[in-house]
Structure 1
């Protein structure tokens, strides 16, 4: 476990599987956590799940529409006033609807960008303003995706949103660093969690058979990376994207091997001398 001075973390998208995993890891490290989501019943269930699994955990929840102009600031202020100063914001709210390009509408495009990018932007700005006003430092961790690097069929809006969120991570780190606020991103590989807002079909999954470590990720894997990058152990790290994907971003482990050189009819010796 990383040494950490995180006392209070706000986790958006906190009712989702990865959000719960992140919040659970932070709670185990001793941080109070406030979950923010628009689904009231799911939020209560998530808070109860974390409280049941981490003895003595302080877990709050706030229902908010983080795509609105006012809710992100209100959520930060409410969390601050209920539980104390916030020193970590995890922007985990996101949706991943499957939308073939020729079926894409402006409404669908806007909805995905609003949840995946706008909510993180507004929440980060609200947190930075409050932290500056209070004379406090802190950390922001954005949850991105390998889709920022490689486009996916029927996911052009999603891939675009995650690429935008990674550039937002760098741009905001540049401007907020002088205030003592670090901004980084954690980019998960395939994590098998089902959610009404992010369903997936098993036949389309790309998991253990395509990464060097040979297994799917877990929400807690993502939580451990968030804990580290927000901790004092990473206090000179900002503007960085951390790939937590079993190595899937290094290449495709599922492709067949190429033919041996001799089977291709290539003759002559192969030099082993260093170039």
Structure 2
């Protein structure tokens, strides 16, 4: 997929979940647009995919921990500040019927997906407030933020929470020039394939999600705040989908799905 042209020269971008499929595309697109990117992920080995790119610095850590969030923003301060935060870190693979979820599993999903976004977002907005300047947060949601997946109740709750968090930031801090928006992608895989359950007829490339993030973080989206941008091939517009097709495709796809 050819990149959408945005200029982030001189800007500093923090991307979480940077070792995953969407995270790698986010880091690459922002770096290609001229940004200096700090790529963070709990998977230290996975961050090696960014080795050798002088535009990208990496930092491993569990972003659901306050001390790790503090360390990330200490580095942000040392590196000259922050312009864009992209909350992409998430635990996506767990599929358990709600009736079978124990509290430990529930808490782990909430921590990985929602607590991490809160810890970084609150530090970002404090950083911008204290610097007397604005900034932009882009968070990854999902169709599950507004509609239920089968056997993913904890995941869906976190995505609805991320959308609510973005609206709260927009309402409370928009007057300071701080924007917070979400992307809700559907059926993201490493290879674009036919998909009969999506009106577009195909799955979503991770680069298409990253291009949406570049748009939302740019001046072209300056009047978008508290918004959910659905990069889903028309999935949300359709009244009913074919769950058997969705499950079949998921079983074939080794990559994470939103």
Task: Name the counterpart of 2:23.
Answer: 19
- SS of residue in 2 equivalent to 1:70: helix
Structure 1 residue 236 displacement after superposition: 1.3
- Please tell me whether residue 220 in structure 1 is matched to residue 199 in structure 2: no
Give the CA deviation at 1:75.
0.5
Which one has a bigger Cα radius of gyration?
1
The aligned runs of 1:39-54 (5 Å cut-off) are: 39-43=43-47, 45-48=48-51, 51=53
CA displacement at 1:150 relative to structure 2:
1.6
How many residue pairs get matched?
A: 236
125-134 or 221-230, which moves further after superposition?
125-134
SS for the counterpart of 1:243 is strand
Question: Once the two structures are superposed, what CA deviation does each residue of 1:104-148 show, in whole Å capped at 9, x if it has no partner?
Answer: 000000010111111001100011111222222110001000111
CA RMSD of aligned residues (A): 2.0
Q: Given the alignment, which residue of 237, 246, 263 partners 2:233?
A: 246
Unmatched segments (≥5 aa) in structure 1: 52-56, 195-205, 256-275
Partner of 1:78: 75
**Equivalences for 1:84-233 in 2 at 5 Å?**
84-96=80-92, 97-193=94-190, 208-233=195-220
Change (3 A) 1:92 1:6: farther
- The TM-score normalised by the length of structure 2 is 0.86
Could you tell me whether the CA contact under 8 Å between 1:211 and 1:252 is conserved in 2?
no
Structure 2: gaps spanning 5 or more residues: 243-258
Whether the aligned pair in 2 keeps the contact of 1:3 and 1:233 (CA below 8 Å) is no
